[in-house]
Structure 1
Amino acid sequence: MPTLSPAAFWPVVLLALSNIFMTFAWYGHLKYKSSPLFLAVLASWGIAFFEYCLAVPANRIGSEVYSAAQLKTMQEVITLIVFSGFSVFWLKEAITLNHVIGFALIAAGAAFVFRA
């Protein structure tokens, strides 16, 4: 099994962490629908700041190893994985077979971006 160099490994880790923050920024407030919208927006902006603190270095470091298209594709696949867990554990919404199939098709399409 090939090993990832630090320059290839850390962008993946940072993108995963940034996606956790961004998922909470975008969807975390759905658990608190009775709160005023302006509070949800302010809280989301505050959370998104930390997402940027991780995503920007991830893309800067990652650009030494990956193309911009590969970084974006990686981020989208990571987003689907993070969102799936978030949806189940935070929002208490089930992931259906249709979700799994749709996400798998997106991931399969993403694989083409990484083909040599």
Structure 2
Amino acid sequence: MPYITPVALLIASNVFMTFAWYGHLKYKAAPLAIVIVASWGIAFLEYCLAVPANRWGSSVYSAAQLKGMQEVITLSVFAVFSVLYLGQKITPNHLIGFALIAAGAFFLFRAPVSA
């Protein structure tokens, strides 16, 4: 469980954060002040999940691995959100960009290269 719990919490936290940052794009007529306060409230829930994910995850993952994992999870959640919630398409260029970021994360989990 020490390997799975941080990943599950990071996925859940990213769902909240994606809604906090981009959910309001469907409601452009809403006053900006209200959007900021609502987004801040949603982001608080994200922090309640992300902080323990990183705290507990640091017992089995390095900080760099946690950050790399976070980026891949963020892009994955965002891609699904963008298509299903915002109704936008993922283009080949998006996929290439996401793949390059995922490739960077892949190297964070490889054994260190000796000098």
Please state which band the TM-score falls in when normalised by the shorter chain.
over 0.9
Could you list the runs of 5+ residues in structure 1 that have no partner in the other structure?
A: 1-5
Give the root-mean-square deviation of aligned CA atoms. Answer: 0.5
**Alpha-carbon separation, structure 2, partners of 1:91 and 1:68:** 32
1:108 matched to 2:103:
yes
Per-residue deviation, residues 37-96 of structure 1 (Å, max 9, x unmatched)? 001100000100110110011001100000111111100100000000000011100001
Correspondence list, 1:24-103, <5 A: 24-103=19-98
Letter in 1 for 2:5: W
**Alpha-carbon separation, structure 1, partners of 2:96 and 2:63:** 26
TM-superposed deviation, 1:109: 1.4
> Residues 68 and 104 of structure 2 are in contact (CA less than 8 Å); yes or no, is this contact kept in structure 1?
no
**Which residue does the alignment assign to 1:3?**
none
Q: TM-score, normalised by structure 1?
A: 0.94
TM-superposed deviation, 1:101: 1.0
Of residues 2, 7, 25 in structure 1, which corresponds to 2:2? 7
Of residues 12, 16, 27 in structure 1, which corresponds to 2:11? 16
**Alpha-carbon separation, structure 2, partners of 1:105 and 1:74:** 14
Letter in 2 for 1:27: Y
Letter in 1 for 2:20: A
TM-superposed deviation, 1:110: 1.1
Aligned length: 111
Q: Percent identity?
A: 71
**Alpha-carbon separation, structure 1, partners of 2:32 and 2:68:** 31
Q: TM-score, normalised by structure 2?
A: 0.95
**Alpha-carbon separation, structure 1, partners of 2:26 and 2:106:** 33
Could you list the runs of 5+ residues in structure 2 that have no partner in the other structure?
A: none
